[in-house]
Amino acid sequence: MEELLERLLEQCRAFTSWGQAADYIPELAKSDPASLGIYVIGSEGKHSWAGDCHQPFTIQSVVKPILLLQALLDNGTEHVMQRVGVEATGKPFDAINAGDQSLDSGNINPMVNMGAILMCTLIQGKDYAERFQRLLELTRRLAGDEEIDIDEAVYCSEKTHGSKNRALAYLLKSHGLLEDDVEEVLDCYFRACSIRVDCKALAHIGAVLSNRGRLPASNQRIFPAAMSRYVNAILMTCGMYDGSGEFALRVGVPAKSGVGGGIMAVVPTRMGIGIYGPALDRKGNSVAGIRLLEQLSRELYLSIF
Ligand code: GLU
């Protein structure tokens, strides 16, 4: 497996020059666009890796499935479905969907920013500091790393340059879909996006989702199997932004990307995969990361289709 990962990584490294690091959050522009790393945790517990897989980066949108899990654990499926739907928007992650239809709860997708901001209100806790702390603890458990914390510089950068997310949150507020103080909700969202991870952490989260809610090593259950079906289904249709359809064709497994360059992929019953490649395509997905997953999927017959 290591040899295969090394070979594919070297083949795909050239694609890093096809994209650019995100710069709308200035702190993210400091990442090295030539980086590329992969980490795989198999269902039998074997770890394999290649490239820049120990490089830390911020989780960004890969936190959305964790937010969804926390919302499901705290409220149950029915309540969550009344607040955020499951249908793909087919629009960019930060699109301001102001049409009446898109502001219907059923059309607010949890894998794009508007839905993720709304999900922060579904986490239970006496205040937003406690809500974020509970999300962080779930992330640590899923990632198998108790040391995980936020990257203060990225958090401050997001908070300072988050006008579009503010617009989305106020839009929700103006339609009566968000009751709490907008700045407090956004603070929780910005912190959530700024959680610092590496490829191993993302692979571990993917492995729990591939193992139907159980930790890969101990088999300890973290969430019910029904919730992994719920989350994996949404990742399949909406996890790669408005590039999810093409990703389903090219790779064929549930996955979530983030503008920090991370991709967390779930190969049901087989493995979790963590990728880092901060050079992004126009849709916000890691260019070389997708190539790497595509090649790996072809070599190991990973597509679920
Ligand atoms: N923090 C980023 C934002 O809100 C997350 C976007 C992403 O990774 O897709 O713009």
Is 154 catalytic? The answer is no
Q: Report the DSSP beta bridge partners of residue 267.
A: 271
Element at 255 (helix H, strand E): strand 255-257
Count of all residues that appear for the chain in the document? 305
pLDDT for 296 equals 98
CA–CA gap between residue 111 and residue 64 (Å, rounded): 6
pLDDT for 96 equals 75
pLDDT for 101 equals 59
pLDDT for 157 equals 94
Is 189 catalytic? The answer is yes
CA–CA gap between residue 71 and residue 63 (Å, rounded): 12
**Cα angle 61-62-63, degrees, rounded to a multiple of 5:** 85
Structure tokens at 116: 């993720």
Number of CB atoms found within 10 A of residue 210's CB: 27
pLDDT for 305 equals 96
CA–CA gap between residue 302 and residue 116 (Å, rounded): 28
For a ligand 1 pocket test, name from 93, 160, 161, 197 the mutation site with the most ligand atoms within 8 angstroms of its C-beta.
93
CA–CA gap between residue 181 and residue 194 (Å, rounded): 20
DSSP annotation of 87:
-
Would you say 250 and 243 are in contact if contact means Cβ atoms under 8 Å apart?
Answer: no
The ranges of the chain with pLDDT < 50 are: none
CA–CA gap between residue 224 and residue 221 (Å, rounded): 7
pLDDT for 23 equals 84
258 touches ligand 1 (CB under 6 Å):
yes
93 touches ligand 1 (CB under 6 Å):
yes
pLDDT for 86 equals 85
Would you say 97 and 167 are in contact if contact means Cβ atoms under 8 Å apart?
Answer: no
pLDDT for 72 equals 97
- Does pTM top 0.85 for this prediction? yes
Sorted by sequence, the CB contacts under 8 Å of residue 291 that are 6+ apart come out as: 12, 15
pLDDT for 87 equals 81
pLDDT for 44 equals 86
117 touches ligand 1 (CB under 6 Å):
no
168 touches ligand 1 (CB under 6 Å):
no
Alpha helix ranges (H) inside 196-304: 199-210, 225-238, 244-250, 287-300
- Among candidate residues 264, 293, 258, the one with its CA nearest the CA of residue 278: 258
> 262 in helix, strand or coil?
strand
